[in-house]
Amino acid sequence: MEKRDKIYEGKAKILYTTDDPNLIIQYFKDDATAFNAAKRGTIAQKGVMNNQISTKIFEFLKEEGIPTHYEKTLSDREMLVKKVDIVPVEVIIRNVAAGSLCRSLGIEEGKELSCSILEFCYKEDKLNDPLINEYHIRALGLATDEEVETIKKYTFKINELMTRFFNSLNIDLIDFKLEFGRFEGQIILADEISPDTCRLWESGTGRKLDKDRFRKDLGNIEEAYQEVLNRVSK
């Protein structure tokens, strides 16, 4: 697959066209940002680790019947994916209270929630990805009602599947963020799933194995990502 022109550079990845108009390459960088890029840094080998971790998770979800943009892993930092039209909505599931939920509602980190919370955010960096609901999505025409229903159905199914997947690795899935895109008229899972986009706590000890180590300057960031990679590779 021939890599051609850069089409987009985000905070953690770069997208390139290929000789197939339906496929693009996502290149995983070591750059890390938090709080809408107010905090910047790099995590050594993060791109390599996230590419491999995302590969494992996409392969697992594909086997379980979730349609994804994942095609093939091309190299240590490059993944071949379907070229989708991204729905500009970030979809978050929270199983345990952490992060912005604690800040906005005054809840203690680690509090068990009596049901999982699904949130939508408008994917617009200059507005700081504000929290929205299904009425905003409809009113702004970000996705059709049918697409929203499909996105919710896949997201809850992915939560069930990933919770089970990580539990088998002795990791609790606290929360995560997904992005979906349109490909040939269908909604499919896109972007990446990695310790950048999930909160992962070691079962029993509560040790944080995700980007919160960077956000909160907890140290041993590379080791945490490596630990997740080791466990998903077993």
Residues lying near ligand TMP in the complex (CB under 6 A) are found at 92, 98-101, 129, 175-177, 197-199
CB of 93 to ligand TMP, least distance (A): 8
Q: Return all residues near 63 (Cβ < 8 A) that are at least 6 apart.
A: none
- Indicate the residue among 54 and 197 with the shorter CB distance to ligand TMP: 197
Select the residue whose beta carbon is closest to ligand TMP and give its number: 99
CA separation for the pair 80, 37 (Å, rounded): 26
Structure tokens at 179: 């992005």
Query: Which residues, in sequence order, are bridge partners of residue 154?
Result: none
Residues composing the chain: 234
- Indicate the residue among 14 and 98 with the shorter CB distance to ligand TMP: 98
CB of 119 to ligand TMP, least distance (A): 8
CB of 104 to ligand TMP, least distance (A): 9
CB of 109 to ligand TMP, least distance (A): 10
186: three-class secondary structure by DSSP? strand
Q: Positive or negative, the Cα torsion across 96, 119, 52, 27?
A: negative
- Indicate the residue among 66 and 178 with the shorter CB distance to ligand TMP: 178
- Indicate the residue among 37 and 72 with the shorter CB distance to ligand TMP: 37
User: DSSP assignment, residue 71?
Assistant: E
CB of 199 to ligand TMP, least distance (A): 4
Distances 70 to 121, 186, 227 between C-alpha atoms, Å: 23, 15, 23
H helix or E strand, kind and range, residue 199: strand 198-202
Neighbours of 168 (CB within 10 A): 10
CB of 173 to ligand TMP, least distance (A): 9
- Indicate the residue among 18 and 54 with the shorter CB distance to ligand TMP: 54
- Indicate the residue among 18 and 27 with the shorter CB distance to ligand TMP: 27
